Every structure is written in structure tokens, then in C-alpha cells.
């Protein structure tokens, strides 16, 4: 199955992928950081954004037009755009917080630097990634092809402060992804 067909179907099946504990975690984290604008890269149908209050500017991008259509239908007060992590359709320093969840696991190795550069460019203050983790970033079998990621390693070439780099609690994410939160440093 070609990758876009897989992600279109994933978006159509978004309700079975909903993780309420993860959604609460993300919402509460954004509130604790006092972010007033949030962008999720790889938002699919908007599952991770469902509990955000209207007073926060919430945006999402995805490569699947099916996902963006579904996100717009279910969350009409938020801004959703077709887009790619290696060319994010937002201005420099335009979002207080930018995040991904299990997106880097699906990126080709050659796209990781461009993707982290883009997240860094768009974020004003904070970036977090929730990704399946291993130090060695070995391949995970399955369709589509995935790799474990060590996001701390990928952020070390940027002027950032690592605030957190810990395993997610299994009650929030049974897959035990790694949560990496960074703050952009003043250059």
C-alpha cells in the first residue's frame, strides 16, 4: 500500500486511534507552558488537538488531504493546512509551541535534519516530540516503514535547552514513547 493511501485510511479510522490520556497530557502541557499558539505537525484528523480551548490559536498540518478535511470538519475553529514537515507553511517564529507525535518515526533518515530545522524555524519558544525511542534508531518492522528515534540526539545541533527527555508513562502511552521537550535558546 503506498504511503499516502495508508495515511488517508489512518485518518478515516482516526476514532480508533484516539488516546484520551495523551490528549489531556498535551493540552495540560501547553497550558503549563502558557503557550497561546500551537502547531501540530502530522495532525491527521486532529485527535491530539480536540481538548484545546478556543482562546488558544491552534493549527495543524498534514500531508493527507483526507486528514485535513476531517480535521476541519471536526474542529472548525482551528486552522488546518495541507503541508509537509520539511517545508512548513508558517512564518518564522510564528508559533509559541510546535509538536509532533510519532511523526519522526516515519521520516526517512535523510529528511530528519530538514524537519528539525523547520520545527526550529517556526517555533517561537518550545518544541516537543513524542516518538518511539531507541538510542540506535533501528528499523521497526511493519507498514509503513518506521524507525525508532532518539530526538535528543537530533536536537543537539540546534541552539536549544533540553527541558525533558523521558519515557512516557505507560498509562498515557502504552507504546512507551519518549517525550522530548526543548526550549529555543537566545542566539
Question: Dihedral, CA atoms, 85, 46, 90, 151, nearest 10 degrees?
Answer: -40
Which carries the bigger pLDDT value, residue 141 or residue 113?
113
CA angle 90, 125, 146 (to 5 degrees): 65
- Residue 1's pLDDT is 37
Give pLDDT tens digits for 40-74: 999 999 999 999 999 999 999 999 999 999 999 99
pTM for the whole structure: 0.93
Distances (CA, A) of 127 to 6, 77, 142, 143: 27, 23, 28, 27
With pLDDT > 90 as the criterion, what percentage of the chain qualifies? 82
Domains present along the chain, CATH in parentheses: 3-184 (3.40.50.150)
- What lies within 8 Å, CB to CB, of 174 at 6+ separation is none
Mean pLDDT of 87-111: 96
Amino acid at each position: 500500500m503506498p504511503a499516502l493511501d495508508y495515511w488517508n485510511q489512518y485518518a478515516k479510522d482516526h476514532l480508533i486511534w484516539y488516546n484520551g490520556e495523551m490528549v489531556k497530557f498535551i493540552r495540560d502541557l501547553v497550558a503549563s507552558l502558557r503557550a497561546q499558539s500551537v502547531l501540530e505537525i502530522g495532525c491527521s484528523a486532529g485527535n491530539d488537538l480536540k481538548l484545546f480551548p478556543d482562546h488558544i490559536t491552534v493549527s495543524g498540518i498534514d500531508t493527507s488531504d483526507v486528514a485535513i478535511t476531517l480535521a476541519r470538519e471536526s474542529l472548525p475553529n482551528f486552522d488546518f493546512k495541507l503541508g509537509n514537515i520539511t517545508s512548513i507553511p508558517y512564518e518564522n517564529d510564528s508559533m509559541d509551541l510546535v509538536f509532533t507525535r510519532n511523526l519522526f518515526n516515519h521520516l526517512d533518515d535523510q529528511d530528519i535534519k530538514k524537519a528539525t530545522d523547520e520545527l526550529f524555524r517556526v517555533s517561537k519558544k518550545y518544541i516537543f516530540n513524542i516518538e518511539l525511542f531507541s538510542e540506535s534508531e533501528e528499523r521497526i518492522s511493519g507498514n509503513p516503514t518506521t524507525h525508532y528515534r532518539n530526538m535528543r540526539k537530533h536536537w543537539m545541533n540546534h541552539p536549544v535547552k533540553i527541558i525533558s527527555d523521558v519515557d512516557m508513562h505507560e498509562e498515557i502511552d502504552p507504546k512507551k514513547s519518549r517525550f522530548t521537550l526543548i526550549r529555543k535558546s537566545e542566539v
